[in-house]
Amino acid sequence: MKQIVMLCLSLGFFVACSNQKKSADITWNDNAHLVSKVDSVLKMMTLEEKVGQMNLLTSDWTITGPSLRSDYIDLIKSGKVGNIFNAHTAAYTRSLQKIAMEQTRMKIPLLFGYDVIHGYKTIFPISLSESASWDLEAIETSARVAATEAAAAGLHWTFAPMVDIARDPRWGRISEGAGEDTYLGSQIAIARVKGFQGNSLEDLNTVMACAKHFAAYGAAQAGRDYNTVDMSDRVLRDVYLPPFKAALDAGVATFMTAFNDVDGTPASGSAYLLDQILRKEWNFKGFVVTDYTSINELVEHGVVANHKDAAAMAANAGMDMDMQSMAFGDYLVQLVKEGKVPEKKVDDAVRRILAMKFRLGLFDDPYRYSDETREKEVLFSKDNLEKARDVARKSFVLLKNDKQMLPLSKDKKIALVGYLADSQVDMLGSWTGAGEASQVTTILEGMKERFPNITYTKGCDVNTDDRSGFGSAIAAAKNADVVVFVMGEKGNMSGEATSRSNINIPGVQTELLAELKKTGKPVVVLLANGRPLTIEKEVELADAMLEIWYPGTQAGLAVTDVLAGDYNPSGKLPVTFPRNVGQIPIFYNVKNTGRPFKEDDKYTTKYLDVSNDPLFVFGYGLSYTTFIYSDCNLSSNEMTADGSIKVSVTVTNTGNYDGSEIVQLYVRDLVGSVTRPVKELKGFQKIFIPKGDSQKVTFTLKPEDLAFTRADNTWGTESGEFEVFVGSNSRDVQSARFNLR
Ligand code: GLC
At 565-576, the pLDDT tens digits run 999 999 999 999
349 C-alpha to center of ligand 1: Å? Answer: 21
Closest residue CA from atom 8 of ligand 1: 291
Q: What is the edge-to-edge ordering of all strands in the sheet holding 322-323? A: 157-158, 111-114, 83-85, 55-58, 322-323
64 C-alpha to center of ligand 1: Å? Answer: 6
pLDDT for 20 beyond 50: no
Domain with CATH 3.40.50.1700 in the chain: 391-583
pLDDT score for 31: 87
When pLDDT is averaged across residues 532-542 and rounded to a whole number, the result is 98
Give the CA distances from residue 480 to residues 235, 406, 454, 526, 533, in Å, rounded to whole numbers and listed in that order.
53, 16, 8, 17, 28
**496 close to ligand 1 (CB < 6 Angstrom):** yes
Q: How far is CA 151 from the centre of its chain?
A: 19
Q: Report the percentage of the chain scoring pLDDT > 70.
A: 96
Of 449, 381, 391, give the one whose Cα is nearest residue 567: 391
Instruction: Tell me which fold the domain 627-740 belongs to.
Output: Immunoglobulin-like (2.60.40)
CA 607 to CA 621: how far, in whole Å?
26
Look at 7 and 327; give whichever has higher pLDDT: 327
Domain with CATH 2.60.40.10 in the chain: 627-740
pLDDT for 16 beyond 90: no
Q: Kindly indicate the confidence band of residue 67, based on its pLDDT and cuts at 50, 70 and 90.
A: confident
CA 466 to CA 197: how far, in whole Å?
48
pLDDT score for 26: 37
Question: Is residue 211 within a helix (H) or strand (E), and if so which, with residue range?
Answer: strand 210-214
**297 close to ligand 1 (CB < 6 Angstrom):** no
pLDDT score for 19: 40
Closest residue CA from atom 11 of ligand 1: 292
When pLDDT is averaged across residues 636-658 and rounded to a whole number, the result is 97
pLDDT for 348 beyond 50: yes
Closest residue CA from atom 3 of ligand 1: 291
Domain with CATH 3.20.20.300 in the chain: 50-112+259-380
Nearest atom within ligand 1 for CA of residue 113: 6
pLDDT score for 28: 67
Superfamily of domain 50-112+259-380: Glycoside hydrolase, family 3, N-terminal domain (3.20.20.300)
When pLDDT is averaged across residues 582-599 and rounded to a whole number, the result is 98
- The helix/strand/coil state of 257 is strand
190 C-alpha to center of ligand 1: Å? Answer: 21
CA 572 to CA 74: how far, in whole Å?
50
Residue of 171, 260, 292 best suited for mutating to test ligand 1, as the one with most atoms within 8 Å of CB: 292
Q: Kindly indicate the confidence band of residue 6, based on its pLDDT and cuts at 50, 70 and 90.
A: very low
Length, in residues, of the chain: 741
**65 close to ligand 1 (CB < 6 Angstrom):** yes
When pLDDT is averaged across residues 144-173 and rounded to a whole number, the result is 98
Q: What is the edge-to-edge ordering of all strands in the sheet holding 482-488? A: 397-401, 544-547, 523-528, 482-488, 414-417, 454-457
When pLDDT is averaged across residues 570-585 and rounded to a whole number, the result is 98
Instruction: Tell me which fold the domain 391-583 belongs to.
Output: Rossmann fold (3.40.50)
CA 7 to CA 142: how far, in whole Å?
42
**64 close to ligand 1 (CB < 6 Angstrom):** yes
What integer best gives the mean pLDDT of the chain? 95
Nearest atom within ligand 1 for CA of residue 256: 10
290 C-alpha to center of ligand 1: Å? Answer: 9
- Give the catalytic positions in this structure: 291
